[in-house]
Amino acid sequence: MALMVLNGVLLKDPSQPALLQHVGKTAQLDTFSYQSCAMREVFAHFPEVLFIHRTYNPRGKVLYTFLVDGPRVQLQGPLARAVYFAIPAREDAEGLAQMFQVFKAFNPAWERVCTILVDPHWSTPLPTLAMEFPTAEILLSAFHVCKFLQGKFYQLFLEQPVEKLLLSSLQNTMCSATAGNLRKLSALLSKCIPPARLPELHPHWLLNDRIWLAHRWRSRAESGRYFQSLEVTTRLLSRCFGTVASEKQGLASLFQYMQNSGSKADLGISPSAQNSCTPTDASPQNPKAEQVVEARIQLSLDAICVGPAAQLCLGELAVVQKSMHLISSGSEKISIQILEDTHKVQPHPPASCSCYFNQTFHLPCRHILAMLSARHQVLQPHMLPAQWTAGCATGLDSIVGSRWSEALDKHLAVTLLTEEVGRLLQHCSKEEFELRYSTLRELADSWIGPYEQVQL
């Protein structure tokens, strides 16, 4: 089914794919390569610098995304700079060589690639990449180094003032990657990080001038837009491909997004035309009325927010829409409620919520959007900070200052669930508690092992 959906999405692509391979011995996808004619043309125009990002799914399969980079590239929007997608059969020398060779066979401009930007974990692919692109210089990307250091700061569980100081210095360095700022950050790491843990942060990267020459040409505003665009792009890839075990399903979701965003017309709707604070006459029990409200919220997001902010909020709105479909009642239907921690929404402008997403990006989260949907309202400009509104340049604060890391996201998800389960157990009867506790006990024993006592 997922392959049928994937094929259907690709066949609707107005630019026929220049290259498309997928081999499936099982229900899963073994190898995959995709490049549309439009993507091929983009690469032909800007082949000098390639940015390669890897996204792993729960099965361990990895999606390689090639994006063009460099001073000449001024393309806007998530995945606008993407020129190639590939899933190698194996992430070894043979599988990677085949992937790179397919890309080169369909892109004669590969010979003009001068620089390739990669993440810090490229140990296995690096020799193969150097062999396939012998004239290109392979460097760590400033974006990946920044996210790597940021994640390490949180993993070390430093004292709050120290963590805040390091993040502030990192932000300043990414905005202005001068040799002086890089030396200051390196010295600060030596001072604040325990000596035994310092090698984990690879401070010598900060003193490698070749890494930062590929980024230093950007102004402060350009750095903000660059980091923001890559943050949205990598999160989008993680959401579409990195959260599902089926490669076909993940790719179908990704290409569906690309198709929708690529064909979206400018509707020319101004915020003043929305009358957002005036509730409609529609009844909340009417499914069509709910669809109208959701459509109006989407239009208001597109009209008010800058592109990357709108994409992040639309992802939150999608969660709200799915949740509303899951929660139902009736004699022949099962009512399902999603366990989630309680959050406090402050509707007064600018709207705020205590959840992780809103505290990180200061954008309308699923809880704020659910409140708007329940009230039949849409987003207004005064409900979000000025830096996210259309026409305003977004600073780097909300991107470099974000507290995202894969380990943190997992910890947050588990913590919210366990806290909610704990609260439910505290308020049930003794008989119900014994029944639910025994169920949890059996689950813990079967998962971790009957010989380890797990504290619930």
The Cα 251–Cα 17 span in angstroms is 15
Which residue bears the tokens 């590969």? 110
For residues 129 and 118, is the Cβ–Cβ distance under 8 A? yes
The angle, 0 to 180 degrees and rounded to 10, between the axes of the packed helices 142-155 and 160-175 is 180
Dihedral angle sign, alpha carbons of residues 261, 267, 273, 279: negative
For residues 141 and 122, is the Cβ–Cβ distance under 8 A? no
The angle formed by the CA atoms of residues 382, 318 and 258, to the nearest 5 degrees, is 100
pLDDT given at position 264: 36
Number of C-beta neighbours around residue 323 at 10 A: 15
The Cα 421–Cα 433 span in angstroms is 11
pLDDT digits (tens, 9 = 90+) for 12-44: 444 445 555 555 555 556 788 899 888 999 999
| Burial annotation 111-124 (CB, 10 A radius, 16+ → b, else e) | eebebbbbbeebee
The Cα 84–Cα 3 span in angstroms is 19
Q: CA 339 from chain center: how many Å?
A: 23
Which residue bears the tokens 């993680």? 238
pLDDT digits (tens, 9 = 90+) for 120-147: 887 767 888 999 999 999 999 999 999 9
pLDDT given at position 81: 93
The Cα 342–Cα 7 span in angstroms is 40
pLDDT given at position 58: 83
Can you read off the two tokens belonging to residue 101? 């060779």
Over the chain, what HEC string results?
CHHHHHHHHHHCCCCCEEEEEEECCCCCCCEEEEEEHHHHHHHHHCCCEEEEEEEECCCCCEEEEEEEECCCCCCCCCCCCEEEEEECCCCCHHHHHHHHHHHHHHCHHHHHCCEEEECCCCCCHHHHHHHHCCCCEEEECHHHHHHHHHHHHHHCCCCHHHHHHHHHHHHHHHHCCCHHHHHHHHHHHHHHCCCCCHHHHCHHHHHCHHHHHHHHCCCHHHHHHHHHHHHHHHHHHHHHCCCCCCHHHHHHHHHHHHHHHHHCCCCCCCHHHCCCCCCCCCCCCCHHHHHHHHHHHHHHHHHHECHHHHHHHHHHHHHHHHHHHHCCCCCCCCCCCCCCCCCCEECCCCCEECCHHHHHHCCCCHHHHHHHHHCCCCCCHHHCCHHHECCCCCCCHHHHCCCCCHHHHHHHHHHHHHHHHHHHHHCCCHHHHHHHHHHHHHHHHHHHCCCCCCCC
The Cα 165–Cα 281 span in angstroms is 51
Residues of the chain with pLDDT under 50: 1-5, 7-9, 11-16, 263-288, 324-339, 393-402, 451-456
Total-model pTM: 0.57
